């Protein structure tokens, strides 16, 4: 059988990694897919740069700067969008679909924001949009959620799903690097987004979590409802105090089914140092999924970088090749559930989320200050799990000291109300730093 022909749009970290892996393993991939898979055309903004990167392989492809020409080429069966973002990438993906081409993409921003439109267009045209690489790089988490766990009523997902921020936190903690140096390292290794604020501010993780939540719970993509908080305001002292209390701080994406709705949130999170998730370091990702039948499962691997991501892109190319001739009605639905069976379960606002909390505040080291704070917490029905008061001499030379409180699970709005009262005390000389604790799992 003739090889299936792929048109590649974009030739950066992931595009070039995909080209390399497909070329290197082409014989085995052919044996798996049942026919060859060849990238025959590449379109880029700057062909001279791509030509240099292609080296001797340049003679095997038609390289140019006209993206539409690649999409419109009747010989091209699959369009691999490896550009990123929600601008030109959206236009090109929709154009490819309208021309009856299958699409493979690693673009989580595009799917989290425009997924509903893109999947609807793909259904109309009877084509596939495959996106394994969009979540957790090389970890086949989409396949696991959509197919492997399909028997389960999924209860929750908690994951380290951004390699850049996990790398930064690891480098700061293990090697004492400052934030900017650690970020530069992640950028040099090809982990970061074109705009790294997407990584640092938790937006990239929220894109991925939105996709997983939709697949897990059969709800539409609702990126705009996600609570998103990154690591830019995280203080080194909180990493240190958390360690003293037996926790690690990770940027975690959490989505959970509750009686009142779906939690969908990304924020720096304390997790017990004993949990497997706590030992996930560098650009590694890990996703913990809890299903009613299977219990807890954990997926671990490289979450970013050229070849780990290419591993997922090529797997999608093989999937699409295998299913190319199948009746569209018999393919796995894009979001696991049949499109007409999506639920309207609400996504909970962060105020209505239940969690444990880490609270740090600076106080004047005077009699009664702790009693005042604990009384306010008790009045709000908040139960204390642990309390740490540093010796004043270890913290400052003006008689002030730090108090760190760990609470049991409670409603976010109750904690916020208590914090407002605590900050109004004359003996409390700082704002209260609040971090959430993930005690489930």
Contacts with ligand HSE, residue ranges (CB under 6 A): 137, 162-164, 191-193, 199, 204, 303-304
Q: Which does 194 bind (CB under 5 to 8 A by kind): ligand HSE, ligand NDP, none?
A: ligand NDP
Q: Looking at beta carbons only, is 93 or 211 nearer to ligand HSE? A: 211
Let me know if 390 is a catalytic residue: no
Of 223, 259, 243, which Cα lies nearest the Cα of 354? 259
For the segment 41-70, give every residue that binds ligand NDP (CB under 6 A). 44-46, 49
Residue 162 within binding range of ligand NDP, rule CB under 6 A: no
Residue 301 within binding range of ligand NDP, rule CB under 6 A: no
Indicate the Cα dihedral angle 375, 379, 381, 386, nearest 10°: -10
CB of 263 to ligand HSE, least distance (A): 21
The single residue among 8, 21, 70, 83 that binds ligand NDP, judged by CB under 6 A, is 83
Catalytic residue among 5, 30, 143, 208: 208
Of 295, 313, 287, 311, which Cα lies nearest the Cα of 130? 313
CA distances from 376 to 340, 356, 379, 409, 440 (A): 49, 17, 5, 16, 26
> Which two structure tokens, joined as six digits, stand for 424?
């109004």
CB of 163 to ligand HSE, least distance (A): 4
Q: Which letter, b or e, does each residue of 268-297 get, where b requires 16 or more Cβ atoms within 10 Å of its Cβ?
A: bbbbeeebebbebbbbbbbbbbbbeeeeee
Q: Which does 199 bind (CB under 5 to 8 A by kind): ligand HSE, ligand NDP, none?
A: ligand HSE
Chain Cα centroid distance, residue 205: 3
Q: Which does 162 bind (CB under 5 to 8 A by kind): ligand HSE, ligand NDP, none?
A: ligand HSE
Q: Which does 267 bind (CB under 5 to 8 A by kind): ligand NDP, ligand HSE, none?
A: none
Cβ neighbour number for residue 152 with a 10 Å cutoff: 17
CB of 328 to ligand NDP, least distance (A): 25
Residue 10 within binding range of ligand NDP, rule CB under 6 A: yes
Cβ neighbour number for residue 135 with a 10 Å cutoff: 30
The single residue among 6, 7, 15, 402 that binds ligand NDP, judged by CB under 6 A, is 15
Q: Looking at beta carbons only, is 15 or 356 nearer to ligand NDP? A: 15
Distance CA 410, CA 415 (A): 7
CB of 127 to ligand NDP, least distance (A): 19
User: Applying CB under 6 A, what is the total number of residues that bind ligand NDP?
Assistant: 26
Residue number of the CB atom closest to ligand NDP: 12
Beta strands in 138-239 (DSSP E): 154-160, 227-228
For the segment 370-389, give every residue that binds ligand NDP (CB under 6 A). none
The single residue among 22, 39, 104, 106 that binds ligand NDP, judged by CB under 6 A, is 106
Distance CA 356, CA 440 (A): 10
> Given phi > 0 = left and psi -120 to 50 = alpha, else beta, which region is 266?
beta
The single residue among 13, 210, 285, 321 that binds ligand NDP, judged by CB under 6 A, is 13
Q: Choose one: 12-20, 72-80, 147-155, 243-251; the region binding ligand NDP (CB under 6 A).
A: 12-20
Local structure of 333: helix, strand or coil: coil
Q: Looking at beta carbons only, is 131 or 357 nearer to ligand HSE? A: 131
Cβ neighbour number for residue 413 with a 10 Å cutoff: 14
- Residues 295-300: contacts with CB under 8 Å, at least 24 apart: 296/441, 297/144, 297/149, 299/136, 299/139, 299/140, 299/141, 299/144, 300/139, 300/276
Residue 88 within binding range of ligand NDP, rule CB under 6 A: yes
CB of 8 to ligand NDP, least distance (A): 9
CB of 313 to ligand NDP, least distance (A): 9
Cβ neighbour number for residue 91 with a 10 Å cutoff: 12
Please say whether the beta carbons of 316 and 132 come within 8 A. Answer: yes
Q: Which does 13 bind (CB under 5 to 8 A by kind): ligand NDP, ligand HSE, none?
A: ligand NDP
Residue 82 within binding range of ligand NDP, rule CB under 6 A: yes
CB of 350 to ligand NDP, least distance (A): 25
For the segment 186-205, give every residue that binds ligand NDP (CB under 6 A). 190-191, 193-194
Residue 253 within binding range of ligand NDP, rule CB under 6 A: no
Cβ neighbour number for residue 66 with a 10 Å cutoff: 11
Q: Is the dihedral of CA 13, 15, 16, 18 positive or negative?
A: positive
CB of 91 to ligand HSE, least distance (A): 22
Distance CA 216, CA 250 (A): 22
Residue 11 within binding range of ligand NDP, rule CB under 6 A: yes
> Given phi > 0 = left and psi -120 to 50 = alpha, else beta, which region is 368?
left
Q: Looking at beta carbons only, is 9 or 304 nearer to ligand HSE? A: 304
Please say whether the beta carbons of 280 and 367 come within 8 A. Answer: no
Residue 285 within binding range of ligand NDP, rule CB under 6 A: no
Residues marked active site are found at 208
């Amino acid at each position: 059988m003739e090889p299936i022909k792929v048109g590649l749009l974009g030739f950066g970290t992931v595009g070039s990694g995909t080209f390399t892996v497909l070329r290197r393993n082409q014989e085995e991939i052919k044996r798996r897919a049942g026919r060859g898979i060849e990238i025959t055309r590449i379109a880029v903004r700057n062909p001279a740069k791509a030509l240099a990167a292609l080296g001797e392989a340049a003679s095997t492809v038609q390289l140019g700067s006209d993206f539409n020409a690649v999409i419109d080429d009747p010989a091209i069966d699959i369009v691999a969008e490896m550009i990123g973002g929600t601008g030109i990438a959206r236009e090109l993906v929709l154009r490819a679909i309208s021309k009856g081409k299958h699409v493979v993409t690693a673009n989580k921003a595009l799917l989290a924001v425009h997924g509903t439109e893109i999947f609807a267009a793909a259904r109309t045209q009877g084509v596939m949009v495959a996106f394994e690489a969009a979540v957790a790089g090389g970890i086949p988490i989409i396949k696991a959620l959509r197919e492997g766990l399909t028997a389960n009523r999924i209860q929750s997902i908690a994951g380290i799903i951004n390699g850049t921020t996990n790398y930064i936190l690891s480098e700061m903690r293990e090697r004492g690097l400052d934030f900017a140096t650690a970020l530069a390292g992640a950028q040099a290794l090809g982990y970061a987004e074109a705009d790294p604020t997407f990584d640092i501010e938790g937006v990239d993780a929220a894109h991925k979590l939105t996709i997983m939540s939709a697949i897990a719970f059969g709800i539409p993509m609702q990126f705009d409802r996600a609570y998103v908080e990154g690591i830019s305001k995280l203080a080194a002292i909180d990493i240190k105090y958390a360690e003293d209390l037996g926790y690690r701080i990770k940027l975690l994406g959490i989505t959970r089914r509750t009686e009142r709705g779906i939690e969908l949130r990304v924020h720096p999170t304390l997790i017990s140092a004993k949990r497997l998730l706590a030992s996930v370091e560098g650009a590694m990702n890990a996703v913990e999924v809890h299903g009613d039948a299977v219990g807890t499962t954990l997926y671990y691997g490289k979450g970013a970088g050229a070849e780990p991501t290419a591993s997922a892109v090529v797997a999608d190319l093989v999937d699409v090749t295998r299913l190319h001739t199948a009746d569209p009605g018999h393919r796995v639905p894009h979001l696991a559930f049949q499109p007409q069976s999506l639920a309207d379960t609400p996504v909970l606002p962060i105020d209505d989320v239940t969690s444990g909390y880490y609270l740090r505040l600076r106080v004047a080291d005077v009699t009664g200050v702790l009693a005042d704070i604990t009384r306010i917490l008790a009045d709000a029905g908040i139960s204390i799990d642990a309390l740490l008061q540093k010796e004043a001499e270890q913290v400052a030379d003006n008689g002030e000291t730090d108090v760190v409180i760990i609470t049991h699970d409670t409603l976010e709005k109750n904690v916020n109300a208590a914090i407002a009262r605590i900050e109004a005390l004359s003996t409390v000389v700082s704002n209260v730093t609040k971090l959430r604790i993930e005690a489930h799992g």
